[in-house]
Amino acid sequence: MKSALFVDFDNVYSGLRRLDQETADQFARNPTVWMNWLIRSLELPEPVTPGARRRVLVRRCYLNPQAYQRFRPSFNLAGFEIIDCPALTSEGKTSTDIHMVLDIVDLLQHETHYDEFIVFSADADFTPVLRKLRRWDRRTTVLAIGFPSAAYRASADLLIDQDDFVRNALSFDESGTILDPLQHAQPAPPTANDSNGSVTVPQDTLVEAIKGEIARTAYPVPCARLAALLINLDSSLAADWGGKGTFRRFVETLDLSPIAFDWRDSGGVAYDPGQSGGSATRPSSAADEWADLSLYRIAKQIHDVTDVPLLTPDRYRKLIAAIASDVAEHPFSLIETGKRVRDRCKESGQPVSRADINHVLRGMIMRGHAFDDGPNDAATLARKLANNVRSLCLREQLILDEATDKAIRDWIGSR
């Protein structure tokens, strides 16, 4: 697959820096590391010819030399063309967007016929060009740091998960240590079928445990509960899910027929279609954990549009309390804090997925909260998170009337 890569450096770097300075510096100083991941490990957008591989023929980095000149040598060594986009206004606005759009349109009509256009930017201004590329039957892959709009997400064929990008493309191990693949030889990842890997419990035992848990109820079972069940059977799964990285990728290697999964809700749910009268769709009572169904309906609408985790109000309160307790005891680090909070939630009997925890932490940071400065009490954190939910609703043009605003307060636990 012939690919062209366009990196809005200012947008990606500033987004990563708001989350973690070390992560941003790894992106800026070691582009060769994440380029190798992009070429060798990142999935290809559908449809794809069997056996196809990605060839990044064009690599362009759009950079403000007045602010980021120090990172130019790293991108030169990684084979990038550097397009200087200096600030044109007193507010620091550059011409990056228009340069990128013109270059994309130019390559769209190039005789080479590029199959895939990869855009590293969270700027929703690129939505029209993604739609144009789709009309021309080209594949689009996007990395957006932060909270990209629903329209932007829907216009891309493949959206790179930013948590996967940080953990895998930037070569962080589970402890948060940055690994240089030229200096750290990493063993081949184990699989559920590999007796020499880290998965010590037989695959059949894991399958029976999942099916048994689902058989106990006629309602969908949250995948977080299934993940906790498997970790109790084999604690080594907590590290990287047998080399698969996530629970979802791990269970996709198991033969769980006729169990079906629905990943639309926060964290996903699993169910047996046969337990709902033979229907091929999941049961309709996915809100059985919610005491207030009217609140659930509003929360579900917000989740569907903004991708805010669809956790119950009680789970949000316990999650925020776990974050407050953790940052009171340890220095804040997005990776390490997320890991410890996940473990706290699991121990409390209210497991929350790592992806949902990271979404919540990023939301607070994006609203300007500095964990190092505080205050980090639960009430303050809940208020910051609720404000982030409101801003995402406004961006997606959801009407924030009095009823919706009250629902957000009741849902997140903000007063």
Out of 53-57, 69-73, 288-292, 319-323, least confident range: 288-292
Q: Is the pLDDT of residue 197 over 80?
A: no
CA 99 to each of CA 61, 102, 118, 137, 291: distance values in angstroms, whole numbers, following the listed order = 11, 5, 15, 22, 51
**First-residue to last-residue Cα distance in the chain:** 52
Give the side-chain half-sphere CA count within 13 A for 219.
7
Q: Is the pLDDT of residue 302 over 80?
A: yes
Q: Is the pLDDT of residue 323 over 70?
A: yes
121 forms beta bridges with none
pTM of the entire predicted model:
0.69
pLDDT tens digits for range 379-414: 999 999 999 999 999 988 888 899 999 999 999 987
Q: Report H helices in 307-333.
A: 313-329
